[in-house]
Structure 1
């Protein structure tokens, strides 16, 4: 069998244990106890009425053998017809109730899942990546939907019908019904073998598809980078590996089904043959009547359908429980902070001996200390992978530190309630999202009570007012997926306008204008600088004109701040920053800074 690819388990979102899944399912059943009881009662009645058929047919057979009058046969036939009609009506009502109950339970599961996803710590989401989370939100929820809506009701009905049918067969002919035992050992052994392996197989399958989804999404999102760096072959090999992993997982679960299904089908065919042969022997010895044998054999034929459905939907239930384990696992993500409700005494932000690691034992920040002066513009520059974005996220309270502290007003950022934290400091990255809704709705996310004049001032602050007012319906224009198309630069301006409306006292810009062309970005940053006058701004960028305009520049190298000072001081110093400036500007640092 193919060896499963090893991954960093610390980066994975957790999967709930079988005990957790049972507890979640039990809680759902208890919450919907009333509707579930009504649904089961209807199904039991429908199954009970359906059991009358073989019994009445057996009585009719005995009547014909004994020469009973045709009137009695006609009465039995009319009674049989009445039971069939009653069963049809009850079955329809039971199915309708089961579907309604399934929709109610699934709606509750979906709302609970969304609430849990939105409550996930951002540090966990960033570490795990989007592939697994998207797979749980789409593929696992879809699989769970089918299980809740159809598999669970069908399994309950099939189980009840099977038990009642066996009971009816024993009542109709106790000795004859003993022949049904022949199929039990095969069904028991086959099902036990399957269930022992199914959970791991389906969890592997779901995880493999999550990895494939993430890989494809990354490739599509980064298509330009892939082309620019000639990485097409690398991404193709990665996708092929993910497809091979998903294929291997699918083969594993297919093998389990290919063994279990034939075994199960054989186990409910054998009782028909066994009962017929056993019944014939009993009749020959005068221990049973032909009618009893006919009735029990018909029950064995009738029981094949619910057992077949039980087997088929039990496999679907394995898919559903695996998906439920992944969905419930979201709730098992530990909190990355414990808010104390403390109130900051001031707006100054300070990092003290900060260390951080994405992987245990591999720090990416090494004891950084930094004090932000209220109202200053601090630019953070340095080579890619130096730790600039990580430090920015710690200053914004996105990640808790591994060691050291990041404080605002002498209160650790991780001690603040999230709502309070977002009023103190806000992170703006190059990632952005335009939600489906009007332009007004998208802006008002940051300030629900903002007036149209305030929205327009925010747009004007980020140079977006002109094109926003030119939209077909102005602020009432529907944007987002399926709405009026919004370009990447415009989407980024919407994100920045939200920040203006949120009005934080400290702002961390992580390549926030990277999707704009240099001239537009330069103009936007100047406009934004005027709007943010008096606020503390940390700007992380590769465009060194940001550093040129900043009050201070922090050069981050290998997870440490190697230089800290004004643009002119660092250029005169002639070390790392001066080399960056010379490389970016295209002429000697001292010459270019004097000319600027």
Structure 2
């Protein structure tokens, strides 16, 4: 890091790698980030939810600050007793006992307040983390594919970690110091009207320095968090694609992407540190001025106004005791800014993405599907220009009918399949399952009614039994083995070291792509949906593996309304109806024999495929 030039324009840093520059630009436009006002409103709402704990915490913290503010007055009174000679030894002992007692109370209340603030903050943060994950899981698959998992991961990992450290170490200290500063200033003002001169002169200077610092660092912290999210996405992409990276020898290229994004984050952080250095110089002005004023005012108060020397002593203690809290509050602003930037990213997801909720209570009556003037488009740039991927179409699918979608890449097959499955909401038109408009359907009923198996399936970490029971938690072992048998997976499952108790997924038994697809199909067999969508679920297997998966898919599809996005035309042959797509439109439809006999688009595809 020592050789990084923090004054170097970020444009020059990013110019080193076009991919890193694009990733950073895209990352800034991914999941939403809440503004300062929205973040404050959200956090106040969270405090209202925990109003009892917040009230008790506030009272304990204020009590600790008040006790700390009483001490200078007691010390000043003790000075008057000793210096003035008007008191007795008993008076001195009494004041000493009071100072000791108030000091103990202040220490106990400060420790309790610290613990209570930290506990309350962690409780709120834990709920926010769950909300972020919940909202991220509610995002449509297409949105998550576009944004990438890195941004969501950085918000539930990096951002939560930054906020958690602040809650444990920073927030309790800042809250206690903030109350102490306010209570101490009130104590100074009530101690003597002369001290108001000190308050109204010094406090605005601290405020000016703070505003100067915050205005310059807030944008830097926000950009730093964006760069860190982009870096996380770059790391994940490289790690997930290790076989491809090694195969094409692009290790240096991937390393350069991450290095440039890391340098960007470092440059931004160094600029913040430079501003911290300048802030130190600014803070010296009100500190030195305060020391000068307390000496001048003390002289005037004692020799002109005739104030007791104890009052001046208390004023001096008040002032000296303010220096550290004020400095701590200001010097921790960099961590505060970082934590606020992280929290605003979390709040952006929570407040801007609606949780999945049932739009209605209607439930499908059968497995028919109907599309009414359905179309869809994706935004392609920041100006809101849209690219139509599915033109208006109507479609009726009878219960139990098997439909196959064929066409060139980009024809709109996967988009149509996702709309038919109910996982993608079309921009226009209506989708009806069993006569029920999905816009007014019970969401859990629809999820149980239709399932989709895509080309990329995920094997969850855990035992094979737990992975299968994701689809049907109450299934017995006999039912699990029956489902594996239906998809020709029983043999390899029995060969696993511990059978159903074998750990699979990350750090577990490595399953092949074919076995992972069979596992996904076995889940469908356990769930028993009325509608099944197979989105090129067997596309990447070799000939033998493809035949096994095709047999398994046909077995699971039996008796269900099935939509197959066909990669091989052998899959299309078994369909009751084939829809040939091109440029987001259905250009032909019919059975395999009818379309071959017609001699048009499908016939040419069949001739080329069959060789």
In which range does the TM-score fall when normalised by the shorter chain? 0.7 to 0.9
> 1:511–1:229: structure 2 CA closer, same or farther, 3 Å change rule?
farther
In structure 2, distance between residues paired with 1:42 and 1:333:
36
Cα deviation, residue 522, structure 1: 1.5
Of 373, 378, 381, which aligns to 1:358?
Answer: 378
Aligned to 2:34: 16
Distance 1:565 1:265 in 2: 83
Does 1:416 pair with 2:441?
yes
- The residue that corresponds to 1:87 in the other structure is 106
Q: Which residue of 2 aligns with 1:511?
A: 536
Could you say what secondary structure the match of 2:374 adopts? strand
Match status 1:302 vs 2:318? no
Aligned to 1:348: 368
Deviations 1:494-521 (A, max 9, x none): 2221111111122111122345443123
**1:422, CA displacement in angstroms?**
2.1
Tell me the equivalent position of 1:474: 499
Shift of 1:69: 6.3
1:178 corresponds to: 197
In 2: Cα distance, 1:314 partner to 1:540 partner: 54
Change (3 A) 1:245 1:314: closer
- Asked whether the 8 Å contact 1:176–1:279 carries over to 2, the reply is no
How far residue 561 of structure 1 moved from its aligned partner, in angstroms, is 2.9
1:58 matches 2:84: no
Pair 261,509 (structure 1): closer, same or farther in 2 beyond 3 Å: farther
1:457 deviates by 1.0
Whether the 8 Å CA contact 1:158–1:306 is kept in 2: the answer is yes
Q: Identify which range, 403-412 or 69-78, moves more after superposition.
A: 69-78
Alignment of 1:89-488 (within 5 A): 89-176=108-195, 178-225=197-244, 235=254, 238-239=257-258, 242-243=261-262, 245-247=264-266, 249-251=268-270, 253-264=272-283, 266-268=285-287, 270-285=289-304, 287-330=306-349, 331-333=351-353, 339-359=359-379, 360-488=385-513
- Would the aligned equivalents of 1:462 and 1:493 in 2 still touch at CA under 8 Å? yes
Alignment partner for residue 41 of structure 1, among 59, 81, 88? 59
SS at match of 2:157: helix
Q: Provide the rounded CA distance (Å) in 2 between the counterparts of 1:387 and 1:233.
A: 36
Task: Describe the superposition over 1:405-446 as per-residue Cα deviations: whole angstroms up to 9, x where unpaired.
Answer: 433334334432222222332111123333344332222221
Alpha-carbon separation, structure 2, partners of 1:554 and 1:582: 17
Alpha-carbon shift at residue 583 of structure 1 (Å): 5.0
Q: Secondary structure at the match of 1:556?
A: strand
- Does the CA-based 8 Å contact 2:118-2:167 persist in structure 1? no
- CA distance in 2 between counterparts of 1:221 and 1:337 reads 32
Stretch moving more, 296-305 or 371-380 = 371-380
Hey, what does 2:47 align to over in structure 1?
Answer: 29
2:18 match: none
Bigger drift between 8-17 and 311-320 goes to 8-17
Deviation of the 1:362 alpha carbon: 1.4
Q: 2: CA distance between counterparts of 1:10 and 1:299? A: 46
Match of 1:491 among 498, 516, 526: 516
Task: State the partner residue of 1:557.
Answer: 582
How far the C-alpha of 1:53 sits from its partner, in A, is 3.9
Q: Deviations over 1:520-577 (max 9, x none)?
A: 2321221331232222322224334323444444333322233434445545555544
Cα drift, residue 288 of structure 1:
3.9
Q: Deviations over 1:29-74 (max 9, x none)?
A: 2222222222222223333333344334434444444457666545
* Structure 1 residue 120: Cα displacement: 3.7
**Conserved 8 A contact 2:47-2:54:** yes
d(CA) in 2 for partners of 1:374, 1:558: 28
Q: Secondary structure at the match of 1:346?
A: coil
Summarize the Cα distance change of 1:189–1:385 in structure 2 as closer, same or farther, 3 Å threshold: same
Task: Determine if contact 2:471/2:527 at 8 Å carries over to the other structure.
Answer: yes
Q: Secondary structure at the match of 1:51?
A: helix
The answer to whether the 8 A contact 2:138-2:355 is kept is no
Per the TM alignment, residue 161 of structure 1 is displaced from its structure 2 partner at its CA by 0.8
Residues 334 and 37 (structure 1), Cα distance of their counterparts in 2 relative to 1, 3 Å cut: closer
* Cα separation, 2, equivalents of 1:262 and 1:221: 48
Question: Whole-Å Cα distance in 1 between the matches of residues 495 and 147 of structure 2?
Answer: 40
**Contact in 2 for aligned 1:439/1:475 (Cα 8 Å):** yes
- Aligned equivalents of 2:171 and 2:67: distance in 1? 22
Task: Supply the distance in 2 between the matched residues of 1:547 and 1:10 (Cα, whole angstroms).
Answer: 42
Give me the whole-angstrom Cα distance separating, in 2, the residues matched to 1:410 and 1:71.
Answer: 92
Cα shift readout 1:312-364 (whole Å, capped 9, x = no counterpart): 44443333333333222223235899834334453222334432111143101
Distance in 2 between residues matched to 1:435 and 1:532, nearest whole Å: 24
Q: How many residues align?
A: 586
Aligned partner of residue 472 in structure 2, secondary structure: coil
Listed as ranges, the gaps of 5+ residues in structure 1 are 588-596
2:548 to 501, 523, 546: 523
**Contact map agreement 1:337 1:415 (CA 8 A) in 2:** no
Q: Does the residue aligned with 2:432 lie in a helix, a strand or coil?
A: strand
Separation of aligned partners in 1, 2:534 and 2:456: 11
**Residue 272 of structure 2 contacts residue 334 of structure 2 at CA under 8 Å; is this kept in 1?**
no
When residues 116 and 401 of structure 1 are mapped into structure 2, their CA distance, relative to the original with a 3 A threshold, is: closer
- CA deviations 1:266-295 (Å, max 9, x no partner) are 534542343134324544546444443332
